[in-house]
């Protein structure tokens, strides 16, 4: 039997947490419509919440306060707008203010091509507020690392998932080339597209480094991250969320400030995501990343 | 409808033990005289931060705390009375209001976010979104099965997430007592201006017992006794905020002065001497807590 997919890994971690660790999973419409893309096991500890987004998040945070380490499932990240208030206003503040933590694992699921209300990627908002740990795992091993990190710490955790990763069973590794012209930093679903773009550029004779960013907060500029940029002296951060005041701009700024090299951000345009093809404002795909790099290297 | 006598059980105090009556009064005095000291500290410019005073409403937690000592408390922003009545250390509350590291939250949170996790008290506050403590409390009850009391105001009762959480408590049969301290005011806007419906009727429609009473502590005690074994349940309690929403100003005398009414009751019950002794002792201890020399030393002024 081969490596498990991301979806199977989530399901396995969840089952163990619920059956062996007195854990709890809360969310809306969990036990219907495919059990959240087949990522939720049929076992004890599942609470199907009524359609009460703000109260539902508050209930999850309350369960976290008393030590249940709940998994809180947000089927589409857009719904974090409502669910965010108990997370941002209470869970993320309580440890620093009162020394009492509220460790809730938020499975914030992103998607693409579902129009204006189901295609949002909102992890940047949670990077903005103090108190969260934020990451976006796209591989089975990364998901295990994310979960272990949550269990090791006592902070509310935003796990920015993407449906495009659920059937992925492969790990994604950095590629660093001796004579690369640019270093590409990729986040969330754009990681798969960045790998493709790097291949397209290489076919054109342009070598690129590709650095995969799973952690968004805390974001530490380690040698793994800085060294390739110090060589290429030019970088591009790609994210599936909005570019303005988003993860791509924030990380590009940090890289620029620390290394002194020029780093551009690439994310969604400052437009609403629409349903129809020309106006979807989709996450940067391989073609857009390719074109952006070409322009930067002119 | 709303009055100082609404829902009162006549002569109910006579059926209560004298020690219980005096203890309720002592807890009311703790709040009243703690806050009297805080008000003086504001006037003397020792205290210059936001202050949400409970005075006028102190009879509710003073009475309930005697029966709910094993409950986890999820308090509203006007929470000094809950903290002090359930046994919170007044010195730590004073220091929190002053922003000192010896405060309940090391001086980081302040008047409207008080928490307590010592001396067998589990009290959580909220962070300013009124009523957010209600879903948190319901989630805590779901998480560990222990009984919870949620205090909130008539304004918070209008937050959609409050009655959504109340409904969830009914669905899952959670041991939560919902207490609306209904002072009729959201800042200064009265209930009748804000809504045409009753939160008590909403609670009943959701499927839990729901009652309206006034803040007569003896009636509150009896009703709490009845409801605490039939949770989830809801009590709307008419009461009067003595001071502004925030800080120490007033807009004239409140509709009724429950503290004075209680003192009159104690006289009728032949408890004047014990009440006077209790009041004087509590007043003296709180005056010491807010002593000006001590405050100068603490604040290095």
Q: How far is A27 from chain B (nearest CA, A)?
A: 13
Q: Which residue ranges make up each domain of chain B?
A: 12-299
User: Quick one: A234 exposed, middle or buried, by C-beta within 10 A (0-12, 13-18, 19+)?
Assistant: middle
Cα distances (Å, whole numbers) of residue B138 to A72, A296, B165, B208: 15, 54, 7, 14
Question: Which are the contacts of B188, defined by CB distance < 8 A and separation ≥ 6?
Answer: B245, B251
Backbone angles phi, psi at B292, to 5 degrees: -60, -40
Question: What's the confidence (pLDDT) of residue A120?
Answer: 93
Q: For residue B189, what are the β-bridge partners?
A: B186
- Does B142 sit within 8 Å of A55, measured CB to CB? no
Mean pLDDT by runs of 10 across the 301 residues of chain B is 94 96 98 98 95 97 98 97 98 98 96 94 92 98 98 96 97 98 94 95 98 98 97 98 93 94 98 98 98 96 84
Question: Which are the contacts of B228, defined by CB distance < 8 A and separation ≥ 6?
Answer: B67, B68, B147, B177
Q: With an 8 Å Cβ cutoff, is B75 touching chain A?
A: no
- Does B135 sit within 8 Å of A66, measured CB to CB? no
Per-residue pLDDT averaged across A255-267, rounded? Answer: 98
DSSP, res B113: G
Query: How do strand B210-214 and strand B233-238 relate by DSSP bridges?
Result: parallel
Question: What's the confidence (pLDDT) of residue A111?
Answer: 95
Q: With an 8 Å Cβ cutoff, is A22 touching chain B?
A: no
DSSP, res A104: -
Decide if pLDDT at A26 tops 80: yes
DSSP, res B172: T
Give B72's contacts in chain A (Cβ within 8 Å). Answer: 66
Enter the tokens of residue B181. Answer: 């301290």
Q: With an 8 Å Cβ cutoff, is A274 touching chain B?
A: no
Q: Which residue has tokens 């250390």?
A: B89
Buried residues in A5-32 as b, exposed as e (16+ CB within 10 A): bbbbbbbbbbbebbeeeebbbbbbebee
Question: What's the confidence (pLDDT) of residue B1?
Answer: 81
The mean of the pLDDT values for chain A is 97
What is d(CA B33, CA B11) in angstroms, rounded to the nearest whole number?
Answer: 28
Q: How far is A69 from chain B (nearest CA, A)?
A: 9
- Does A52 sit within 8 Å of B161, measured CB to CB? yes
CATH fold of B12-299 reads: Rossmann fold (3.40.50)
| Closest by CA position to B14, among listed B218, B275, B272, B227 | B218
Q: What is the pLDDT of residues A204-252, one digit of tens each?
A: 999 999 999 999 999 999 999 999 999 999 999 999 999 999 999 999 9
ipTM associated with this complex: 0.96
In this prediction the pTM is 0.97
Inter-residue contact B41 to B47 (CB < 8 Å): yes
- Could you give the domains of chain A? 6-165 (3.40.50.970), 182-296 (3.40.50.920)
Question: What's the confidence (pLDDT) of residue B126?
Answer: 86
Q: What is the pLDDT of residues A119-138, one digit of tens each?
A: 999 999 999 999 999 999 99
What is d(CA B130, CA B190) in angstroms, rounded to the nearest whole number?
Answer: 16
SS3 A114: coil
Question: What's the confidence (pLDDT) of residue A32?
Answer: 85
What is d(CA B74, CA A113) in angstroms, rounded to the nearest whole number?
Answer: 42
Per-residue pLDDT averaged across A53-72, rounded? Answer: 98
Question: What's the confidence (pLDDT) of residue A2?
Answer: 66
Q: How many CB atoms lie within 10 A of CB B246?
A: 15
């Amino acid at each position: 039997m081969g490596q498990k997919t991301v979806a199977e890994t989530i399901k396995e971690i969840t089952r163990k947490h619920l059956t062996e660790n007195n854990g709890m999973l809360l969310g809306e419409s969990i036990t219907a419509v495919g059990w959240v893309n087949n990522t939720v096991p049929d076992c004890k500890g599942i609470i199907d919440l009524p359609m009460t987004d703000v109260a539902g998040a508050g209930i999850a945070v309350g369960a976290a306060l008393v030590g249940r380490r709940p998994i809180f499932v947000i089927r589409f990240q857009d719904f974090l707008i409502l669910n965010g208030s108990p997370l941002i206003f209470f869970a993320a503040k309580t440890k620093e203010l009162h020394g009492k933590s509220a460790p809730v694992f938020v499975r914030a699921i992103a998607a693409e091509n579902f129009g204006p209300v189901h295609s949002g990627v909102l992890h940047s908002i949670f990077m903005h507020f103090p108190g969260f740990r934020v990451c976006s795992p796209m591989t089975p091993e990364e998901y295990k690392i994310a979960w272990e990190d949550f269990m090791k710490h006592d902070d509310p955790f935003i796990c920015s998932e993407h449906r495009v990763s659920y059937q992925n069973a492969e790990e994604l590794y950095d590629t660093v080339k001796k004579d690369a012209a640019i270093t590409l930093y990729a986040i969330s679903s754009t990681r798969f597209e960045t790998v493709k773009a790097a291949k397209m550029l290489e076919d054109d004779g342009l070598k690129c480094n590709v650095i995969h960013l799973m952690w968004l907060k805390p974001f530490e500029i380690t040698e793994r991250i800085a060294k390739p940029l110090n060589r290429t002296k030019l970088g591009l951060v790609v994210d599936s969320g909005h570019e303005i005041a988003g993860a791509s701009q924030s990380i590009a700024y940090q890289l620029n400030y620390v290394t002194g090299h020029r780093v551009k951000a690439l994310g969604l345009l400052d437009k609403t995501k629409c349903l129809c093809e020309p106006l979807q404002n989709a996450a940067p795909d391989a073609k857009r990343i390719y074109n952006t790099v070409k322009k930067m290297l002119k | 409808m709303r009055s100082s006598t609404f829902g009162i059980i006549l002569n109910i105090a006579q059926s209560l033990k004298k020690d219980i009556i005096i203890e309720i009064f002592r807890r009311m005095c703790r709040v009243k005289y703690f806050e009297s000291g805080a008000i003086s500290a504001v006037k003397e410019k020792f205290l210059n931060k936001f202050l949400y005073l409970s005075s006028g409403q102190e009879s509710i937690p003073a009475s309930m705390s005697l029966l709910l000592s094993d409950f986890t408390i999820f308090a509203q922003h006007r929470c000094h009375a809950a903290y002090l009545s359930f046994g919170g250390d007044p010195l730590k509350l004073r220091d929190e209001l002053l922003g000192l590291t010896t405060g309940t939250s090391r001086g980081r949170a302040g008047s409207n976010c008080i928490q307590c996790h010592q001396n067998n008290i589990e009290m959580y506050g909220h962070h300013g979104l009124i009523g957010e403590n209600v879903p948190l409390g319901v989630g805590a009850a779901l998480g560990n099965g222990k009984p919870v009391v949620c205090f909130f105001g008539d304004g918070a009762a209008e937050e959609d997430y409050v009655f959504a959480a109340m409904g969830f408590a009914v669905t899952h049969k959670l041991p939560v007592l919902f207490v609306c301290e209904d002072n009729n005011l959201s800042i200064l806007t009265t209930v009748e201006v804000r809504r045409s419906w009753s939160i008590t009727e909403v609670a009943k429609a959701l499927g839990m017992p729901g009652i309206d009473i006034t803040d007569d502590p003896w009636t509150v005690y009896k009703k709490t006794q009845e409801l605490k074994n039939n949770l989830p349940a809801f009590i709307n309690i008419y009461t009067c905020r003595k001071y502004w929403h925030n800080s120490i100003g007033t807009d004239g005398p409140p509709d009724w002065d429950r503290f004075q009414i209680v003192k009159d009751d104690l006289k009728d019950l032949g408890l004047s001497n014990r009440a006077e002794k209790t009041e004087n002792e509590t007043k003296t201890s709180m005056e010491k807590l807010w002593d000006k020399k001590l405050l100068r030393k603490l604040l290095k002024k």
